[in-house]
Structure 1
Amino acid sequence: MFKKSMLHALAAAALVPAAHAGVDLIAIGSISGSYEDLSTRTAAPLENGVPGNRLGGLGSGLAYAGGNTFLALPDRGPNAKPYNPLVDDTVSYIVRFQTLRLALSPSDAGSALPFTLTPTLRKTTLLSSPTPLVYGSGAGLGNRIDGVTPIGSGAPALNAARHRYYFTGRSDNFDPTRPSTNTLNARLDPESIRVSNDGERVYVSDEYGPYVHEFERSTGKRIRSFKLPANLAITRLSAQSAVEIADNTVGRVTNKGMEGLAITPDGRLLVGFMQANLEQDKKGSLRIVTIDTYTGATRQYAYKLTDGSGVSEILAINNHEFLVDERDGSGMADTPLLTDTASAAKVKKLYVIDLDGARDVSDLSGDLSAYAVTKSAAPFLDVVAKLTAAGTDPRLIPSKIEGIAFGPDVSIKGVTKHTLFVANDNDFLATIADPLKLPSDATRTMVPNPNQFYVFSFDDHDLPRYVPQRINDERDRDHGRDHDDDED
């Protein structure tokens, strides 16, 4: 046993060099949380009064698509505004991804950081199915925020206008007679996105099912869904998360499903990450699910939490090593209302893990820690430490650091460096109570809560086995101008 423990410790130490002085913050950029996206046909107010094309939640998932192009994935929509507990305040927000240009340019002399990051929204793509989906009837839900208009069916009005079946974030859009992994359900809570090597398709993971869907990148139409293991599903479904959690003993915990998704550089393997333990597993024992995109075969591996409350993302370093985003819920927008107390960010750390030699735990449950994949003893990147060292108050570091993606190489003082882009989920809250002031302060007001992007540089010493994913980006899919998918 001692020998096995020593070998595991040595393997963990070998994952990451002892020093990470080369990992540096090089740029910060943002997009206002009050903007609207390019899907003007969805701009009408949702059930809670929020515009249906609010540009928010961009860092739930972030994928590199070549050049300066990134895909940003909001989650199920603006449900942080209370209006109806029977559907967990979820709304008929049509889920989508945003195509962004994240351009780095050298900063002016005297700037604190070497680069300036300029984000530009280029395209909004709505996610749909070519075949019918299951929507809630709206019966018994009462009226919208105006107190007059019935909430009605969960099917978006755009379905009839576009002759499509759109996925939405509303929690009652499901068939109660089938397991949660039923791919006919219209409810989708997307949390991560990755691009195929040919650049033509995107893969999206979700928390409701959980699901992993493949969509056509240009149109957002679903191409296929991967069959996930039955032990990830729940069988007693509800529009209310508390009811689902109480009624199930097997499967994903509600709102803590497949939060992360990676694609290996060879483009063959998708690697999903459950945010928290399954109902049948011990707390702190998380599951990684690999999917062979050629055969559909799956495997499951165990992960042991270190000091966060869950995992938000996974990113491929090569075909067997990955960065894992482990975090807590503290930080800016953790407590967005005027009556709440301030919250300082603490745990936002990226660890290196290695699946090589790990045991498939598909047939196991309970405490999986003995089979946990090899994990670096120290984090590759401590986001809170880096940002506070650069002068950012920890109360202004976003609570939900969720999107991570490698980006284009840059030159710093004549030396080529790799880049890592990190983004937050701002929960579609355009403003929040000032995190720097306490509720007792009479001058406390609402302040902007933007979509944030942080860029870090690193070199081959920091990740010696880093292999970039090669994405075909020769064709300009955005046609050089801003638009939404109404033009396809």
Structure 2
Amino acid sequence: MKHAMSSLPRIAAAVLFTATTVATLPLHAAPLTVNGTTFELQGLVGVGRLPANLVDEHGETFGSVSGLFADTSAWTRSGDTYSGIFYTTPDRGYNAVGTIDYTARLNQLAVSFTPAPVGASGLPQNQIQLTLTQATKLYEALPGGGKLDISGLDPVPGGLAAGGARAATGLLPELPQAYNGKLALDAEGVVKLSDGSRLISDEYGPSIYRFSADGQFLGALPVAESVRPIRNGVTDYSSNNPAAGQPAPVPANPSFGRQNNQGFEGLSISPDGKTLFVGLQSATRQDGGTGGTAATRDNTRLFTYDLSNPDDITLTGEYVVQLPKFTQNGQTLVAAQSEIHALSDSQLLILPRDSNGFAVGTEQSFLRRVDVIDISDATNILGQSYEGTVAPGGVLDPQIIPALYAPFLDVNDNSQLNRFGLANGNIPGFDNLSEKWEGLALVSALDPEHPNDYFLIIANDNDFMTTQGFQAGEAYDAGVDIDTTFLAYRVTISPVPEPSAALMMLAGLAGILGALRTRRRGGSTHPALSSGYSGAA
């Protein structure tokens, strides 16, 4: 197999890598091996942009990418060009002074992608052609045939008694509510289920909503009590971003549960369609999440749901993921995660980042990556006596084993970015990457000669930043134009030989080599990346 197992030294490297602590090894080690799967970066092969002033079919400013889902059933190849459909979620709308009554929606993009050669330079930023084809508003159906839009407004402080929540029913959990009676949704991740319905994760609850293909609210999933925000002894969903004229919560921050604006940022389904993964952006308040980029907010949580019965989706797991730290101006900070993508029922890609980029912070990012996590040996804390608080003061309870974490792809690598006129930081003649990268998808290269090659797609969230904006009936000028940008990397993700076979090869046992059969995890290919994966719905 090309890239992963082309020579004896590479096999040896893979074995040694597996035997050591994966997370301590350098980025771009070739190959990176995590529990029997190799990951190898070929290079950045495509860039695409949508202008900051793009408007949707409703005449409102396009909301960029807070969540990204590639419909792999529609992914095709003709010659050197690929075509497909991406679904994206914008978040709660442009926030000038607090939140606005922006109607939540799901956007659809038509994609045409002609990769550039690996290693080529002096390239334009047009390999990924994107067209906004649909913006489906999300709504509740009312008796009599009416509709009530889902809103981006901050929930009312005080919870249920103050009108800031809808009471739980036999079919629904308690859900956040805005002052105008609309369900409140700060949309992030998105996935498409086998029946065509969509799940969208939310920062406020944090919640997981279910919608039909035409945007009708169908329900919501149960959520662990460990992440529900508590103020003054009651569940209070306000994120301290009230609309103009509305009250702010007191105190500003919850004492327990998710931090303000740090909810369910990541959402993904295993390729077999049986497991839903949901990732909290950073640690809960009780686990050292003291707000901002504090050095103690690294112990975040990853949840699993059983999707085998779409009419009865159940919470099955809760795991600790330790986010990476970095140093900025002498201060140790944590890079919160902005998206996840499942490769199997135990292994995922994760996108951690700092808060720097074009027109924001230092403008040069210190950490912006795609890494690998594996929960095969991690402790399932769901239902355990210590589930509520697992890392007081940011120190993980020693009886809990966190997910295995391995660095993989450095998005800030200027040797890759510069080839397309991009950069991390202010470099004359290059376009600086924006701050928020929140979309992650994986599609097959559909290459018979290299069946384990994929395109890893990363996209930014521009936060509706444009000098020509229009939302909720009003024009606005954000003072800067930030385009929506997509990056495409070619990667190889494949199984490796079992260590014993490779060691015998190293010992020169040629006779035994002929009798050995290479055992691959989950069969002839990685279970998440079999030929069926690229065609899954």
TM-score w.r.t. structure 1 length? 0.73
The residue aligned with 1:224 is 219
Structural mapping, 1:29-40, within 5 Å: 29-38=48-57, 40=58
Write out per-residue CA displacement over residues 65-89 of structure 1, whole angstroms, 9 at most, x where no aligned residue.
132111011111111x23xxxxxx1
The residue aligned with 1:76 is 92
Residues 326 and 244 (structure 1), Cα distance of their counterparts in 2 relative to 1, 3 Å cut: farther
1:182 corresponds, among 149, 174, 183, to 174
Shift of 1:101: 1.0
Amino acid corresponding to residue 345 of structure 1 in structure 2: S
2:317 corresponds, among 279, 299, 304, to 299
Contact 1:205–1:213 at 8 Å: present in 2 too? yes
Contact 2:378–2:402 at 8 Å: present in 1 too? yes
Shift of 1:329: 0.6
* Structure 2 stretches lacking a partner, 5+ long: 1-16, 26-32, 76-83, 166-172, 178-182, 230-234, 242-247, 289-296, 326-333, 426-431, 469-477, 497-524
Shift of 1:266: 1.4
Equivalent-residue separation in structure 1 for 2:38 and 2:364 (angstroms): 26
Write out per-residue CA displacement over residues 244-297 of structure 1, whole angstroms, 9 at most, x where no aligned residue.
664532111110011111111111211111111111113211011111233413
Equivalent-residue separation in structure 2 for 1:288 and 1:19 (angstroms): 23
Equivalent-residue separation in structure 2 for 1:17 and 1:323 (angstroms): 15
Contact 2:239–2:261 at 8 Å: present in 1 too? no
1:95 corresponds, among 91, 104, 112, to 104
Amino acid corresponding to residue 430 of structure 1 in structure 2: T
Equivalent-residue separation in structure 1 for 2:318 and 2:126 (angstroms): 40
Are residues 1:233 and 2:233 paired? no
2:486 corresponds, among 448, 453, 470, to 453
Are residues 1:419 and 2:419 paired? no
Matched residue count: 398
1:317 corresponds, among 328, 343, 363, to 343
What is the DSSP-based 3-state SS (H/G/I as helix, E as strand, rest coil) of the residue aligned with 1:297?
Answer: strand
After TM superposition, the structure 1 stretch with the greater mean CA deviation from structure 2, 401-410 or 386-395, is 386-395
Structural mapping, 1:74-473, within 5 Å: 74-79=90-95, 81-82=96-97, 89-105=98-114, 112=123, 116-130=127-141, 163-172=146-155, 176-177=159-160, 182-183=174-175, 185=177, 186-198=183-195, 200-217=196-213, 219-234=214-229, 235-238=235-238, 240-241=240-241, 243=249, 246=252, 248-282=254-288, 283-293=297-307, 294=309, 295-307=313-325, 308-334=334-360, 343-362=363-382, 363=384, 364=386, 365-367=389-391, 368=396, 370=398, 371-377=400-406, 379-385=407-413, 387-388=416-417, 390=419, 391-395=421-425, 396-411=432-447, 415=450, 417-431=453-467, 448-461=481-494, 465=526, 466-467=528-529, 469=533
Contact 2:443–2:455 at 8 Å: present in 1 too? yes
Amino acid corresponding to residue 490 of structure 2 in structure 1: S
Contact 1:238–1:244 at 8 Å: present in 2 too? no
What is the DSSP-based 3-state SS (H/G/I as helix, E as strand, rest coil) of the residue aligned with 1:177?
Answer: helix
Equivalent-residue separation in structure 1 for 2:350 and 2:397 (angstroms): 17
Contact 1:107–1:115 at 8 Å: present in 2 too? no
Equivalent-residue separation in structure 1 for 2:20 and 2:219 (angstroms): 40
What is the DSSP-based 3-state SS (H/G/I as helix, E as strand, rest coil) of the residue aligned with 1:91?
Answer: coil
Between the two proteins, what is the percent identity of the paired residues? 25
Residues 246 and 462 (structure 1), Cα distance of their counterparts in 2 relative to 1, 3 Å cut: farther
Contact 1:31–1:451 at 8 Å: present in 2 too? yes
The residue aligned with 1:442 is none
The residue aligned with 1:436 is none
Amino acid corresponding to residue 323 of structure 2 in structure 1: L
Contact 2:343–2:529 at 8 Å: present in 1 too? yes
Write out per-residue CA displacement over residues 209-263 of structure 1, whole angstroms, 9 at most, x where no aligned residue.
011112112x011222111112211213446257366453211111001111111
Equivalent-residue separation in structure 2 for 1:18 and 1:408 (angstroms): 16
After TM superposition, the structure 1 stretch with the greater mean CA deviation from structure 2, 26-35 or 455-464, is 455-464
Shift of 1:366: 3.8
Contact 2:319–2:403 at 8 Å: present in 1 too? no
What is the DSSP-based 3-state SS (H/G/I as helix, E as strand, rest coil) of the residue aligned with 2:422?
Answer: coil
Return the index of the structure with the highest Cα Rg.
Answer: 2
Structural mapping, 1:45-64, within 5 Å: 53-56=60-63, 58-64=64-70
Equivalent-residue separation in structure 1 for 2:356 and 2:137 (angstroms): 31
Contact 1:25–1:113 at 8 Å: present in 2 too? no
What is the DSSP-based 3-state SS (H/G/I as helix, E as strand, rest coil) of the residue aligned with 2:93?
Answer: coil
TM-score w.r.t. structure 2 length? 0.67
Write out per-residue CA displacement over residues 326-346 of structure 1, whole angstroms, 9 at most, x where no aligned residue.
1111112425xxxxxx51122
* Structure 1 stretches lacking a partner, 5+ long: 1-5, 44-52, 83-88, 133-159, 336-341, 433-444, 474-488
Residues 375 and 389 (structure 1), Cα distance of their counterparts in 2 relative to 1, 3 Å cut: farther
1:24 corresponds, among 16, 19, 43, to 43
Equivalent-residue separation in structure 2 for 1:77 and 1:410 (angstroms): 37
Contact 1:16–1:376 at 8 Å: present in 2 too? no
Equivalent-residue separation in structure 2 for 1:245 and 1:382 (angstroms): 38
Amino acid corresponding to residue 236 of structure 1 in structure 2: D
Residues 34 and 17 (structure 1), Cα distance of their counterparts in 2 relative to 1, 3 Å cut: farther
Contact 1:331–1:346 at 8 Å: present in 2 too? no
Write out per-residue CA displacement over residues 147-194 of structure 1, whole angstroms, 9 at most, x where no aligned residue.
xxxxxxxxxxxxx9x811211111146872268662263110011111
Residues 306 and 238 (structure 1), Cα distance of their counterparts in 2 relative to 1, 3 Å cut: closer
What is the DSSP-based 3-state SS (H/G/I as helix, E as strand, rest coil) of the residue aligned with 2:114?
Answer: strand
Equivalent-residue separation in structure 1 for 2:221 and 2:320 (angstroms): 20
Equivalent-residue separation in structure 2 for 1:471 and 1:411 (angstroms): 14
Contact 2:239–2:260 at 8 Å: present in 1 too? no
